Amino acid sequence: MDEALGRTLDAVGPRLKQLRQRQDITLADLAQETGISTSTLSRLEAGLRRPTLEQLLPLARAHGLTLDELVDAPPTGNPRINLRPIACGDGSTILPLTRRPGGIQAYKFVLPRGDDDAEPDLRTHEGYDWVYVLNGTLRLVLGDHDLTLEPGEAAEFDTRTPHWFGATGAGPVEYLSLIGRQGERAHIRAAPSL
């Protein structure tokens, strides 16, 4: 086995643990969903055992990832179509969906379960933002407004307005964000009413 492959496989265990904890899933719940025993999952996460393909497939399905994403495989082929998630220190993940310079940039954000009593750290910057909630509940503090957005709801605002995004104590949240330069807004067209 070559050295790069060994390093990739050795890193799978801690990655599995991080993914499970970020999604707030217990070993017992994951064992039930994947059909892999809790003891085997524990050994995989601790790096005491390397995963087999038969184990990686149900784990990837349970975490909603491809096999490449699950094992953090090195990129291959055309990098323009190989968008890699960015793991942040706070447990959130950012997936850039566009790579072209200029224009509106698209991202998918996944935030871990939040603390409803946490004090938001409002930020400002140049630009315009549009968000759309896919799963979970998003807390958006926008100036003096403290909003809770559910799946299917959207918000748009000038990012010079102090703002903050976070998940609630109800669980993790996934949302899309379109960010444009100052004054550049996403145009939404609605079908005319008949």
Domain ranges of the chain: 3-71, 86-180
pLDDT in tens, 34-60: 999 999 999 999 988 888 888 988 888
pLDDT in the model for residue 8: 76
Q: State the average pLDDT over residues 124-139.
A: 91
Q: Any residues with CB less than 8 A from the CB of 15 and at least 6 apart, and which?
A: 70, 71, 72
Q: How confident is the model at residue 144 (pLDDT cuts 50, 70, 90)?
A: very high
Give whole-number Cα distances, 178 to 36, 78, 187, in Å: 39, 24, 11
Angle at 33 between CA 30 and CA 36, to 5 degrees: 70
| Prediction pTM value | 0.55
CATH code of domain 86-180: 2.60.120.10
pLDDT in the model for residue 87: 81
Least trusted range by pLDDT, from 69-73, 87-91, 118-122, 142-146: 69-73
Q: How confident is the model at residue 108 (pLDDT cuts 50, 70, 90)?
A: very high
Average pLDDT, the chain: 83
* CATH (one of 1.10.260.40, 1.10.1060.10, 3.40.50.300, 1.10.3720.10) for 3-71: 1.10.260.40
pLDDT in the model for residue 80: 53
